Amino acid sequence: MGRKTTIIETATRLFAQKGFAEASTAEIAETAGVAHGTLFYHFKNKQGIIQEIFTRAGSVYLRELRKSIAEYNTGMRQIEAALRFNEEYSRHHSQEILIFLRIFPDQLKGDAQSPEREFIDSIQQQVIAILHESLSAGIADGTIECRDIEETACVLNSLIFGVTHMSLMAPRYTPSLSEGAIAFCRQALQPSACAGKK
């Protein structure tokens, strides 16, 4: 495994544990077992490390989310899959997710139109788009009913974000939310029962 990859993995771990400002480049280098200067040979600066982590993690997440949803063929099942995938993913890739949850906010300084911000926004947009698609599919195949697709996609996205945040940041009092959240969403999205019974 190349030095660059080692650095990225070490940095991911440290950033997730301690936060961006609190993990110094010297510590990253030492933990990764490379010289301090080596960091700056492979990356322009400290920002560059986190940017690469963001970029890699973001694209992996999106790819796997899409793959995971693609296995199901009704809209409702896809939405459920998205929620389940998210719990699974945040369990197995907790460090990448923690980085998003922890460092994310600090990257969004003021309202500046930074490239980081655009990248992050773009990921959110894609997640919302994926949910939108599944909702549309669900409406088409009769497994879902909802007022406004776009709005519902945003709400779902927020719910996913909130649930992930809670289970990673405050797991002590917050038991696994996934099944609860899935039940909640199924209830909210399923077509009116009476209509179906008639």
Contact residues toward a second copy (CB under 8 A) are 17-19, 21-22, 101-102, 104-106, 108-110, 120-121, 124-125, 128, 146-148, 151-152, 154-155, 157-163, 165-166, 169-170, 172-175, 177, 179-181, 183-185, 187-189, 192-194, 197
36 belongs to the binding site for DNA (CB under 7 A) = yes
Q: How far is the CB of 189 from DNA (least distance, A)?
A: 45
CA angle 115, 123, 170 (to 5 degrees): 105
Choose from a second copy, DNA, none: what does 149 bind? Cβ within 5-8 Å by kind.
Answer: none
Q: Do 169 and 105 form a contact (C-beta atoms < 8 A)?
A: no
Per-residue DSSP letter, 111 = T
> What residue type is assigned to position 173 of the chain?
Y
Binding residue for DNA, selected from 39, 50, 81, 181, defined by CB under 7 A: 39
Q: If 0-12 CB within 10 Å is exposed, 13-18 middle and 19+ buried, where does residue 194 land?
A: exposed
Which residue has tokens 């906010």?
A: 105
Choose from a second copy, DNA, none: what does 26 bind? Cβ within 5-8 Å by kind.
Answer: DNA
Residue 45 — left, alpha, or beta (φ > 0 → left; ψ -120 to 50 → alpha)? beta
17 belongs to the binding site for DNA (CB under 7 A) = no
| C-beta of 42 vs 77, nearer to DNA | 42
Choose from DNA, a second copy, none: what does 3 bind? Cβ within 5-8 Å by kind.
Answer: DNA
Handedness of CA 89, 90, 95, 99 (dihedral sign): positive
Would you mind telling me the total number of residues written for the chain in this entry? 198
| C-beta of 71 vs 148, nearer to a second copy | 148
| C-beta of 3 vs 84, nearer to DNA | 3
Q: Return the closest-CA partner of residue 77 out of 142, 158, 124, 163.
A: 142
Choose from a second copy, DNA, none: what does 129 bind? Cβ within 5-8 Å by kind.
Answer: none
Residues at the contact surface with DNA, assessed by CB under 7 A = 2-4, 21-22, 24-27, 34-42, 44-47
